[in-house]
Amino acid sequence: MNRIGAGEIDGLIRAMALDTGAWLKRTGRGDPLIIGIHTGGLWVAERMRRELAIDSPVGELNITFYRDDFSRIGMHPRVAPSHLPLAVDDRHLILVDDVLNTGRTIRAAMNEIFDWGRPASICLAVLIERGGRELPVQADVVGRRLDLHPDQHVKLLGPEPLALEIKKSE
């Protein structure tokens, strides 16, 4: 398999929204702010927001300034700046990304979130979870687990329609 199409992805995101709703109910956490990590995470977060009928707009996180590889590769090409529509202090957050791999992106995202304020909690939702963790980071909600070889690369294409592409790294 080297491609997952839009129909299947929409189904995965609907299931993620259901799981997230159930998770919020189980833990007694209401009125969450949903935050997507640029760029793929943002597309998934926007769809989850619609499914969960959350009124507040999606928060956008650009983790460029928090990456741990600045001394190795310098500045990344610019993406839109972070924008959180609501104060994160004492708020429950749903952090959304497209792929969970090493865990370094999520570490950077959490560092940035704490520079905006002190949230009550963070729930991590990812469309694809694959192996290769280098940090102790686990998702609370997962769309699909993929067992991939380390030299396989998975990328979410979008925003409309969404597609997942799995290929061998160059």
Partner 1 sequence: MTAHDTQLDQHGRLKHFLTVEGLSRELLLEILDHAESFAGVGDRAVKKVPLLRGKTIVNLFFEPSTRTRTTFELAAKRLSADVLNLNSSTSSTSKGESLQDMLHTLQAMHCDMFIIRHGNSGAAHFIASRVSPDVRVINAGDGRHAHPTQAVLDMFTIRRHKPDFPGLRVAIVGDVAHSRVARSEIHALRALGVADIRVVGPKTLIPAGIESMGVTVYNELESGIRDADVIVMLRLQKERMRSALLPGAKEYFNSFGLTNARLRAARKDVIVMHPGPINRGVEIDSEVADGTRSVILQQVGHGISVRMAIMALIMGSLAPGRETG
Judged by the rule CB under 8 A, the positions of this chain that interact with partner 1 are 62, 64-66, 70-75, 78-83, 89, 111-112, 114-117, 153, 169-170
CB of 115 to partner 1, least distance (A): 4
Buried b vs exposed e over 61-76: b needs ≥16 C-beta within 10 Å? bbbbebbeeeeeeeee
Residue 127: C-alpha distances to residues 17, 35, 85, 145, 148 (Å): 11, 14, 23, 9, 15
Nearer to partner 1, 30 or 71 (CB): 71
Name the residue nearer to partner 1 (CB basis): 2 or 27: 2
Residue 7 or 68 having the CB closest to partner 1: 68
CB of 169 to partner 1, least distance (A): 6
* Shortest distance (Å) from residue 60 CB to partner 1: 10
d(CA 121, CA 166): 32
Cβ atoms of residues 84 and 59 within 8 Å? yes
